[in-house]
Structure formats: structure tokens, C-alpha cells
Homo-oligomer: A and B are copies of this chain.
Amino acid sequence: MNQLTNIFKGLSDETRLRILVLLYQEEELCVCELSGILEVPQPRISQNLTKFRDMNLVIDKRKEKYIYYSLKKENKILLNILKDVVDDIGSYPKLSADKAKISYKEKYLKQYCGKGY
């Protein structure tokens, strides 16, 4: 039950909610993409992702310079809750705006130079 209240605590902060909603909509995102899309300083993104990892809500995978985060698919409750939110995303302009920015995510890989990742 602590696991459950912790999930809600995770969702109770705007930045963290935005991160999780983005990860629900996009298979994986790295720290700098999240920082760029949300316009939130990198350390804050990183701190929150660390908490999520400690809570077993996300996993991380390094790909060269970048570390990509994605939701743990095993956590059904979290996925169900995020589905509830995303199903109603039209009611939340900020979440919709974040989603729109996913298409431009490469922009936030500052060193991106067409190498295919």
C-alpha cells in the first residue's frame, strides 16, 4: 500500500506528472529530451527520474552518450492511471503541448548530427 501512495505522490507534482505522461506516450526519452521538452533544468529531471527508478516505476538504458528512460510495463496500476489521464489529455493544455513537442525531440539532442539515433 505504500507502493500505491508513493505512486500517487510521484504523480502529485507537476513536473513529475509531465514526465510520466510523456513516457506513457513515447516508448523512451532521454534526460536532455525531457529537459528540453518540459523546459525544466536538467538536475530536476534527473532527480525525479532517480526517484522513479528507486520506486521501480521506470528503467534506464544507456545508448552511447544518452541515458534513455522508459516506464516499467509490469506496473499495471501506474499504467492504468496514466491511461485515465491521457484519455482526457484534452483537458490539460500543458500536457497536450508537451505531447506535441515529442515530434521535435531530436532538437534537444544538442549534438545530433544525423547519425541515425
Contact = CB atoms under 8 A, between A and B. Distances in A.
A64 interface: no
A1 interface: yes
Tier of interface size on chain A: 20 to 34
28 contacts: A1-B14, A1-B17, A1-B93, A1-B94, A1-B95, A2-B14, A4-B17, A4-B85, A5-B11, A5-B12, A5-B13, A5-B14, A5-B17, A6-B12, A8-B8, A8-B9, A8-B12, A8-B17, A9-B9, A9-B12, A11-B12, A76-B88, A77-B85, A77-B88, A80-B84, A81-B81, A81-B84, A84-B84
Stoichiometry, as copies per complex, reads 2
A117 interface: no
